């Protein structure tokens, strides 16, 4: 008897966000109907837009283009920034030396680099990848530096106490100790990469989901496609984030979060 009611309440709780979304959609539809100008579509219009895109094979092409650029830019940034950041974090003098430079470069929106990116790489994939790389590099480096600096001194001392060589210290203490922080940083930076790619595509390239939005509007005010594009951007961004979160949950990385 008890199990039935708890199962039912649990289902009801799960459905609440769905109900909320449904309410929002209804309000949206009503709001659209009452608008005299017919520029913005309602929810049905957006679904129609998605169907349109799928039918013309555009959706897949653009999604792949965006993901391609994100992957390259992100991976390049990871490969360069993480080892560099770990090294800089380890040596206080290195951090002292580089910190001001990092702090000035960090607040610069990657998009501000567009003229330079185009100058160096022309309009196209490489420029976009460069921008994504820029957008990811500094946060990742700062994450790595911070991760090393937050290693409790006890771990390092214990390692040295057991007579570990420098190399072994890095491999057996430093690396496992920083992994939880790094993974969280990776997730956040991937989110940043996704934001940058969309923005970059709206300005500097002619394919991808960002371009889809700009093009849909410019070539005929197809706001149903605009909103469809936005929705898909949101969903893919969410999937990327969820994917990284599941990586965080992998047991061997979880030790960093045991305080619950």
Partner 1 sequence: MNLLSKPRKWEQFFWPILASALLLALWHYSVIWSGTKVFPSPREVGKGIGELVRHHVLWRDIVDSLRRVAAGFGAAVLLGVPLGLTLGWYPAANQVVNPVMQVLRPISPIAWIPVAIIFFGVGDRAAMFLIFLGAFFPVVLACISGVSNVPSVFRRAGRNFGLTAPQLLAKVLLPAALPQILIGLRIALGIAWLVVVAAEMIAVDSGLGYLVIDSRNSGKRYDLVVAAILMIGVIGLVLDLAFRRLEKLHSVRWGFRFES
- Please tell me the distance from the alpha carbon of residue 15 to that of residue 13, in angstroms, as a whole number: 5
Four-CA torsion 118, 123, 126, 131, nearest 10 degrees: 50
What's 125-186 look like in SS3?
HHHHHHHHHHHHHHHHHHHHHHHHHCCCHHHHHHHHHCCCCHHHHHHHHHHHHHHHHHHHHH
In the complex, what is the shortest distance from the CB of residue 195 to partner 1, in angstroms, rounded to a whole number?
Answer: 4
Q: How far apart are the first and last CA of the chain?
A: 32
- Please tell me the distance from the alpha carbon of residue 88 to that of residue 42, in angstroms, as a whole number: 51
21/64 with CB nearer partner 1: 21
1/11 with CB nearer partner 1: 11
Query: CB atoms < 10 A from the CB of 187, how many?
Result: 17
1/117 with CB nearer partner 1: 117
1/23 with CB nearer partner 1: 23
1/115 with CB nearer partner 1: 115
State the residues that interact with partner 1 by CB under 8 A: 13, 16-17, 19-21, 24, 39-40, 90-94, 96-101, 103-109, 111-116, 119, 148-149, 151, 153, 156, 166, 191, 194-196, 198-199, 202-203, 210, 213-214, 216-217, 223, 226-227, 229-231, 233-238, 240-241, 259
In the complex, what is the shortest distance from the CB of residue 97 to partner 1, in angstroms, rounded to a whole number?
Answer: 4
In the complex, what is the shortest distance from the CB of residue 116 to partner 1, in angstroms, rounded to a whole number?
Answer: 7
In the complex, what is the shortest distance from the CB of residue 102 to partner 1, in angstroms, rounded to a whole number?
Answer: 10
SS3 content of the chain, % helix, strand, coil (to 5): 85, 0, 15
1/243 with CB nearer partner 1: 243
Give residue 151's region: left, alpha or beta (phi > 0; psi -120 to 50): beta
Q: Which of 45, 50, 28, 29 is nearest to 232 (CA)?
A: 50
In the complex, what is the shortest distance from the CB of residue 20 to partner 1, in angstroms, rounded to a whole number?
Answer: 5
């Amino acid at each position: 008897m008890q199990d039935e009611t708890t199962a039912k309440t649990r289902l009801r709780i799960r459905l609440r966000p769905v109900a909320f979304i449904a309410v929002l959609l209804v309000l949206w539809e009503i709001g659209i109907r009452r608008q005299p100008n017919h520029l913005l579509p309602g929810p049905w219009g957006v679904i129609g837009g998605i169907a349109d895109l799928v039918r013309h094979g555009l959706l897949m092409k653009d999604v792949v283009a965006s993901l391609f650029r994100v992957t390259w830019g992100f991976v390049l940034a990871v490969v360069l920034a993480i080892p560099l950041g770990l090294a800089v974090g380890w040596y206080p003098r290195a951090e002292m030396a580089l910190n001001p430079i990092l702090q000035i470069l960090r607040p610069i929106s990657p998009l501000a680099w567009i003229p330079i990116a185009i100058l160096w790489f022309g309009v196209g994939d490489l420029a976009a990848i460069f921008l994504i790389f820029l957008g990811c590099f500094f946060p990742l480096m700062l994450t790595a530096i911070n991760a090393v600096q937050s290693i409790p001194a006890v771990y390092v001392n214990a390692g040295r106490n057991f007579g570990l060589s420098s190399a072994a210290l890095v491999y057996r203490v430093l690396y496992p100790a920083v992994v939880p922080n790094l993974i969280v940083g990776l997730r956040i930076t991937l989110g940043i990469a996704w934001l940058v790619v969309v923005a970059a595509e709206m300005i500097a390239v002619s394919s991808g989901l960002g371009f889809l939005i700009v093009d849909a509007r410019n070539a005929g005010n197809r706001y149903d496609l605009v909103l469809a594009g936005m929705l898909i951007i949101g969903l893919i961004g969410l999937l990327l984030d969820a994917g990284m979160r599941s990586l965080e949950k992998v047991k061997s990385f979880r030790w960093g979060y045991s305080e619950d």
